[in-house]
A and B are shown apart, each in its own frame.
Chain A
């Protein structure tokens, strides 16, 4: 049951994109290179390419996310694929249909790819394991486990601004414990060979195994930001407060909010990133979010190019080998 899903085929071509785990540096760089070409498209009269003409892509979202779903949808459309949006709120799962039933039904509509977001860790893997041969699955966030396309768009943003990964010192700040984004980012940064990954968080928001992820742990924000090239702020989820992991938003901001003064600890040309949506005055001050070092809105644009790269690579080269 728990045999790992192969994310690439025998020729090393991408088939599923479920987790950064298992990919080599060259493979991640190939995704970034392809994204580089897709990022040029908005400058043209026709912003789309015919790569996935005739393919059907299904966005299977069991958890709300307007931004992620929209960028996946736009990415699919710019590749000339047809898109079905299947949201849990309006779907049959609310009527008791199982995940597998849902999958079979949509497969009967001849979908070539599922883009899956689910609150349960491992949901995308489950679907990849049970999907028909030749059908690709992209993980758009599963529980606390992984959000690999978000991590790749973050890597793309970093590469665009910093060029080479090797000399970089990157700090990830906030709720590491509950963040699938952080997990995927740490894996991607280490695979791409940055010199240091730091996580900065209160003890209650840090997983016990944090150090085994290959990071340096800090509990003091100013100390952790010293001389970093890239700062990645994580969104603080309000429900954490209800579970008494944190005293209050105000106090969190006092200790872990990124302010202009704290930003000065980092290198002068450091960039500030955030997967969005941001909580102004909770994890980040408005003056920083809207300031010259912020690349938060560029991340959104790059997200489209990176998702186009992943989708087209997963669906390219598949004709005639759906059974093998």
Chain B
């Protein structure tokens, strides 16, 4: 197991270095510098600003400084907000994003699992078709459409929840629901397929032949075996939610990383764009690693196979 983790960590590091390098040189190719915003400055002032952002050094030196900064978690200084470190800005805004993402992931997965479970138990029945319908809708329709519908009908017309902004738990409801549709759909589909397969397997027949009742068959024998593969979709789901938060935060004006990111794109604040990109990449790779390890932990077959090596 230790060797496996080490190997995965090395891969993770390698990927991060590649992304960082790639981002750095892309940034060099971009037209924007801090000067594009304030072009009425004197030469001397420009010089000071370039010095501040380290843009006077030759590119290889800039690269080394940049990578060195990354190693200690320094993502540079924002163009837009004077003297604010990108790392600080991200840390300031990570809370709402994490809360939204986690709520949507947890609530969505649980509801989705239940839907999938019901669909599998009542295979080819009305509940199966309804849950499949919900899954197709949730998977197909983009979250920003749901967000629009919720904002217009629930918030504007009915006034049940705030239209936008952040603060109380009521503010989190609509964005969470809009974000959760995708995990609901994916979890429901996946759970249904897995559950049907598990319920058709031989050991379920063994369990029934023992006299285990329907409830026991489904929950004690079925669900656990169906849950193990479900863990594999959690990674891609978390990433999809990350994408989702960008638009959802913009629509509901949630002060999270995504909203900051979208604003930075419109204001060409490249250090923030790059910093957030790297942060997202790190998060993504980290989640995938955690999921893989988790998978090894809950499946006794894999646990042993790794232990024997």
Q: Do A and B interact?
A: no
Which B residues have a C-beta under 8 Å from some C-beta of A? none
